[in-house]
Amino acid sequence: MNADPLLSRAKTMRDALVAVRRDIHRHPELAFQEQRTAERGLTWFRGLGLDVQTNIAGTPGLIATLDTGRPGPTLLLRADMDALPITEETGAEYASETSGVMHACGHDAHVACLLGAASLLSEHRQALRGRLKFLLQPAEEKPPGGAKVLIEQGGILEGVDAALALHVYPPLPVGQMGFRPGVLLGYSDRFTVRIHGVGGHAARPHQTVDAVAVAVQVYQALQYLVSRENDPLHPFVITIGALQAGTAANVIPNEATLLGTVRSLDPMVHNSLPERLERVVAGICQATRARYTFEFVRGYPAMVNDAALTQRATESVKSLVGEQGVVYLPTPELGGEDFAFFSQRVPSLMFRLGVRNEARGLVHSVHSSRFDLDEDALPLGAAALARIAMDYLHHG
């Protein structure tokens, strides 16, 4: 197979893409604080001669537009910019220089790939029709998410016919990309349970209502919903990520707080969860003489890839890297992603970019303090975004 000229050109850009990725990686920024990252993108886009809209909806988000001046569809390409409140433990020479913050989900790579795609497509603008919008989006990691804000308050999908994004994917080796039509990722919601008991001396538990003991029972009872009350063919997951209570070994606290998330795939299950969770909490508290407050916050909807767009994009990437470089993802996952808000409004596709390299120990999951990626994936991601976009504008 002859090498695709887009991929060949992207490989010549590797050093530039690695440099911008490492610079962003050294200087990670939390949700809605991504001003420095946005400035890097702004400089890059203006260097390509693109029109740029900044500070969308009062956030660091920005959009660069490539308008060919010829009639055709409008495609939006999106990269998220924010990092996570995690202390990096990779030992990389480009490790985070910001205490307690790191790019543990690969958003630095997403930005680099988008900037590379913008360069590739700008070089081929005479062969294009329609419009391309390159979005650097804040706050994917913090529900309700930057996507929702930019769509509802910034109007970023006005006139847009389709949306495209990639996400790094450690299960796949560098050189492969994963595609799945339909549901890719599940609903992602959060909840808080506060147990209100009666505090007292550790030596006299009979005079108290032990909030810690009640919280432990609530934790255990919630798992009953998953294991025995729910249809296993329509799964969901409950995770308690934090249980906070007490300040001293000899004091029974009067309050305990559980912070949790629930992930699901089925819309009926998703809709039923607040009532089901609160019913369990209420039952335990009634039995133990405790009181409670319960808060359930809807997070991200399910991420659904448009079937037709996915099929066409798969063929585009096959022409780029060959059949062996394209992997069908057989099942959805329960992770959440605010790109789902795009998929609710326009045909959308998120595909997976393989970044694994076992020989170099680059095997850790996203959201791990040891997550890193094979940077050979950067030109591949840039070229894939560009090839899909070019083919979409030609045939969209």
Q: How far is CA 82 from the centre of its chain?
A: 10
State residue 192's pLDDT score.
98
Cα 329 to Cα 131, 145, 171, 354, distances in angstroms: 30, 25, 11, 12
Banded model confidence at residue 1, pLDDT cuts 50, 70, 90: low
pLDDT digits (tens, 9 = 90+) for 141-151: 998 899 999 99
pLDDT digits (tens, 9 = 90+) for 263-320: 999 999 999 999 999 999 999 999 999 999 999 999 999 999 999 999 999 999 999 9
pLDDT digits (tens, 9 = 90+) for 27-64: 999 999 999 999 999 999 999 999 999 999 999 999 99
- Return mean pLDDT, the chain: 97
Domain identity same for 229 and 214? yes
Domain identity same for 282 and 335? no
Point out the domain boundary residue: 300, 334, 361. 300
Domain identity same for 335 and 368? yes
The CATH code of the domain that includes 382 is 3.40.630.10
pLDDT over 60 at 106, yes or no: yes
pLDDT over 70 at 100, yes or no: yes
Question: Are 24 and 114 contacting, i.e. CB atoms less than 8 angstroms apart?
Answer: no
Domain identity same for 207 and 136? no
The region, left, alpha or beta by phi > 0 then psi within -120 to 50, assigned to residue 308 is alpha
Token match 């591949």: residue? 380
More confident residue, 360 or 3: 360
Point out the domain boundary residue: 300, 323, 352. 300
Domain identity same for 17 and 77? yes
Domain identity same for 251 and 316? no
State residue 396's pLDDT score.
60
Domain identity same for 56 and 152? yes
pLDDT over 60 at 110, yes or no: yes
Looking at the structure of the chain, the number of domains it has is 2
Domain identity same for 48 and 158? yes
Q: Over range 386-392, report the average pLDDT.
A: 98
pLDDT digits (tens, 9 = 90+) for 112-155: 999 999 999 999 999 999 999 999 999 999 988 999 999 999 99
Annotated catalytic residue: which of 82, 306, 372, 375?
82
DSSP string, 308-349: HHHHHHHHHHHHHH-GGGEEE--S-BS---TTHHHHTTS-EE
State residue 394's pLDDT score.
87
Domain identity same for 293 and 316? no
Whether 82 is catalytic is: yes
The CATH code of the domain that includes 296 is 3.30.70.360
Whether 140 is catalytic is: yes
pLDDT over 70 at 2, yes or no: no
Point out the domain boundary residue: 266, 300, 334. 300
Domain identity same for 329 and 384? yes
Annotated catalytic residue: which of 29, 80, 88, 140?
140
pLDDT digits (tens, 9 = 90+) for 228-256: 999 999 999 999 999 999 999 999 999 99
Dist. CA 108–CA 21, nearest whole Å: 5
Structural domain of residue 108, as residue ranges? 5-185+302-395
β-bridge mates for residue 8, sequence order: none
pLDDT digits (tens, 9 = 90+) for 311-352: 999 999 999 999 999 999 999 999 999 999 999 999 999 999
**Which tokens in the block code for residue 184?**
């890719």
β-bridge mates for residue 259, sequence order: 192, 242
State residue 3's pLDDT score.
79
Domain identity same for 148 and 19? yes
Domain identity same for 255 and 156? no
State residue 395's pLDDT score.
75
